[in-house]
Amino acid sequence: MNHSMTTTGFTLDGYRIDRNLGVVRGITVRSRSIFGTIGGALQTLAGGNISLFTELCEKTRAESFDMMMAHAEQLGANAVIGIRYDATELMQGVTEMVCYGTAVVVQPA
């Protein structure tokens, strides 16, 4: 599925929704390594962007998005609308990232 066929909105410009296939999701659980934790802590001393944590967050979001897309493709969708992310700290240093949306079949309008 093409990434241009995804949106946080509930419509996809230029397309009409023919079928709603339901909620799809991708879930990833990550922890920081001891080296990442120490490196991140050292970066906080200087202030600004904490690149080690930014990279971890971006990798986690991308992985959960890709898993959601795979779930949608398994259902036969060609688009996903209403995409959202949610994160929960399961325990100190361990975070769950969920990407979810509604899988749909769309046709050009």
pLDDT over 90 (residue 34): no
Pick the closest to residue 4 from 83, 90, 89, 94 (CA basis): 83
Average pLDDT over residues 44-57: 68
pLDDT of residue 72: 98
Superfamily of domain 3-108 in CATH is Hypothetical protein apc22750. Chain B (3.30.110.70)
Q: Write down the pTM of the prediction.
A: 0.83
